[in-house]
């Protein structure tokens, strides 16, 4: 397929010539009989980004991405699209800042409009202790050149007059903002990376579920799939919420539990909030989509689940969080709600690592924060798959870190995945 470059000129030309010159964005492929140098399992954002960077940065192009459904049908198309690099710990913050820098150049790199919108994110502060903790976090961000801004209550109120500043239980005292944070059109990220990878020769194979691994003498030689066996020089698993059940087929148990996270969107409203706002005393966060809907979410449902749908108690919890900071949300009607599978790790941080089986690699444990990580995750996973060594910003993401006592626990809640 020839590579069509998207541009304003191309749009104009097509408009004048009856839109006959558009081609499929990427090529739908079937498995090759003689296999691949690298197979990526999972056509989510991370899998597609990995394939793209393997081809672009490392010149490895004999690659397949196997997806059991359709690309973009997993979490990459279910998340609330927030990107930020406002982490605290040294194992995390440089990685997420690297991701932010990749977002900032993503559309130019992919020649694809992913609607990267650096509208800013604002974390509300409700107590003096929380102010201290957030100032510490802000200093961590400054160390990593991520940038941040401390806002006094007066400034917060001026920017967002609808906030309930004097809520009896959770008054808003201040906020920590990251002006470079924001939102990205989530499924455009999947399509953009798919197009970039496909143009570099990567086979994207949909409706192809991996059902087993062909392992001999501790080495992975290929995969069993619903489209037959496929040989692979190297395999990179990248299936997010399905990590547990896929790796179990290779006999590997993980420090991960799968949980469900829900998200919500209201009817379209006139513009009221031009950034992302998060509640600091409960779990609620909100932004407004370009269509006007308030997109919001909160806690995970709290028990192991592979159901991709949630239960009502959490709906109530999330909505009461919303009412506590922005009571006007009670007037809006809810349009849609949905759930996705979270690969919740034991410390809330991810893994990009080799496994005890030769030529089998693992990427997962992204919890509810893996969308923002998509570019860096793909970049670093490609680095690992191509060079056998961790990229410098991902050295802490090892599977054995709990054995060594080297957890990266941002919240400090311990090995209790439903609290991260």
Partner 1 sequence: MIINHPLLGPRDSEEFVYLGSTDLIDRPTNWEEDASSEDFYQYQYIRDNIAGNHRELWYHEQGDQSWLVVTRNTITHEITNVELAQDVSRAMGRGK
Of 77 and 140, CB closest to ligand FAD: 77
Q: How many residues bind partner 1 (CB under 8 A)?
A: 25
From the number of C-beta atoms within 10 Å of its C-beta (0-12, 13-18, 19+), residue 44 rates as buried
Q: How far is CA 295 from the centre of its chain?
A: 16
Q: CA–CA separation, 189 vs 106, rounded Å? A: 9
Q: What is the contact mask toward partner 1 in residues 201 to 240, using x (rule: CB under 8 A)? A: ----------------------------------------
> Does residue 304 interact with partner 1 by CB under 8 A?
yes
Residue whose token pair is 């692979």: 232
> Does residue 261 interact with ligand FAD by CB under 6 A?
yes
User: Which residues on neighbouring strands pair with residue 328, listed in sequence order?
Assistant: none
> Does residue 366 interact with ligand FAD by CB under 6 A?
yes
Please name the residues in contact with 83: beta carbons below 8 A apart, sequence gap of 6 or more: 99, 100, 103, 116, 181, 182, 183, 184, 371, 372
Which of ligand FAD, partner 1, none is residue 6 near (CB under 5 to 8 Å by kind)?
A: none
Of 326 and 342, CB closest to partner 1: 342
Tell me the Cα Rg of the chain. 22
**Residue 306 CB, nearest approach to ligand FAD (Å):** 10
Of 214 and 304, CB closest to partner 1: 304
> Does residue 303 interact with partner 1 by CB under 8 A?
yes
Q: What is the contact mask toward ligand FAD in residues 84 to 123, using x (rule: CB under 6 A)? A: ----------------------------------------
> Does residue 416 interact with partner 1 by CB under 8 A?
yes
Instruction: Name the one range near partner 1 by CB under 8 A: 135-143, 194-202, 246-254, 379-387.
Output: 246-254
Residue whose token pair is 């502060």: 125
The tokens of 44 are what?
């989510």
Can you tell me whether residue 204 is helix, strand or coil?
strand
Please name the residues in contact with 32: beta carbons below 8 A apart, sequence gap of 6 or more: 64, 203, 230
> Does residue 266 interact with partner 1 by CB under 8 A?
no
Please identify the residue of the shown chain whose CB is closest to the bound ligand FAD.
44
Asked if 79 and 374 touch (Cβ cutoff 8 Å), the reply is: no
Q: CA–CA separation, 125 vs 135, rounded Å? A: 10
Count of all residues that appear for the chain in the document: 420
> Considering only residues 236, 255, 293, 340, which one is a binding residue for ligand FAD as defined by CB under 6 A?
340
> Considering only residues 19, 32, 245, 291, which one is a binding residue for partner 1 as defined by CB under 8 A?
245
Instruction: Name residues contacting ligand FAD, limited to 177-196 (CB under 6 A).
Output: none
Instruction: Name residues contacting partner 1, limited to 311-350 (CB under 8 A).
Output: 311, 313, 346
User: Which residues on neighbouring strands pair with residue 264, listed in sequence order?
Assistant: 296, 337
Q: CA–CA separation, 365 vs 244, rounded Å? A: 10
DSSP 358: B
- Which of 236, 242, 203 is CA-nearest to residue 220? 236
> Does residue 169 interact with partner 1 by CB under 8 A?
no
Instruction: Name residues contacting partner 1, limited to 381-410 (CB under 8 A).
Output: 402-403
> Does residue 255 interact with partner 1 by CB under 8 A?
yes
Which chain residues interact with ligand FAD by CB under 6 A?
41-47, 66-69, 73-76, 78-82, 209-210, 238-242, 246, 261-263, 297, 340, 366, 368-372
Residues that bind partner 1 (CB under 8 A): 243-245, 248, 253-258, 302-307, 311, 313, 346, 402-403, 415-418
């Amino acid at each position: 397929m020839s590579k069509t470059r998207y541009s304003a000129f191309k749009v104009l030309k097509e408009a004048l010539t009856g839109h006959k010159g558009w081609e499929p964005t990427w090529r739908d492929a079937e498995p090759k009989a003689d296999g691949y140098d690298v197979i990526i399992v999972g056509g989510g954002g991370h899998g597609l980004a990995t394939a793209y960077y393997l081809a672009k940065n490392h010149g490895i192009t004999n690659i397949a991405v196997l997806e059991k459904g359709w690309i973009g049908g997993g979490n990459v198309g279910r998340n609330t699209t927030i990107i930020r690099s406002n982490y605290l710990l040294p194992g995390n913050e440089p990685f997420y800042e690297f991701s932010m820098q990749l977002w900032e150049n993503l559309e130019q790199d992919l020649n694809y409009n992913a609607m990267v919108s650096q509208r800013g994110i604002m974390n509300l502060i409700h107590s003096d202790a929380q102010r201290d903790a957030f100032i510490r976090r802000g200093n961590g961000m400054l160390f990593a050149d991520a940038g941040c801004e401390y806002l006094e209550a007066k400034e917060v109120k001026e920017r967002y007059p609808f906030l309930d500043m004097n809520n009896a239980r959770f008054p808003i005292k201040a906020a920590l903002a990251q002006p470079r944070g924001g939102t990205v059109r989530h499924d455009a990220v999947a399509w953009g990376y798919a197009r970039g990878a496909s143009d570099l020769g990567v086979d994207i194979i949909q409706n192809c579920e991996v059902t087993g691994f062909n392992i001999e003498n501790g080495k992975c030689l290929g995969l069993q799939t619903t489209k037959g066996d496929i040989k692979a020089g190297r395999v990179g698993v990248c299936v997010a919420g399905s990590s547990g059940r896929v790796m179990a087929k290779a006999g590997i148990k993980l420090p991960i539990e799968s949980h469900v996270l829900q998200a919500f969107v209201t009817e379209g409203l006139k513009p009221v909030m031009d950034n992302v706002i998060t509640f600091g005393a409960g779990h609620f966060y909100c932004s407004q989509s370009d269509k006007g809907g308030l997109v919001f979410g909160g806690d995970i449902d709290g028990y192991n689940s592979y159901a991709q749908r949630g239960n009502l108690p959490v709906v109530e919890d999330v909505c009461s969080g919303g009412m506590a900071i922005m009571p006007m949300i009670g007037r809006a009607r809810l349009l849609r709600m949905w759930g996705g599978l979270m690969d919740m790790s034991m410390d809330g941080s991810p893994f990009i690592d080799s496994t005890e089986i030769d030529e089998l690699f693992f990427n997962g444990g992204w919890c509810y924060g893996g969308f923002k990580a998509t570019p860096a995750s793909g970049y670093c996973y490609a680095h690992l798959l191509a060079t056998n060594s961790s990229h410098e910003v991902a050295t802490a993401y090892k599977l054995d870190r709990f054995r060594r006592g080297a957890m990266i626990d941002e919240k400090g809640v311990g090995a209790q995945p439903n609290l991260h």
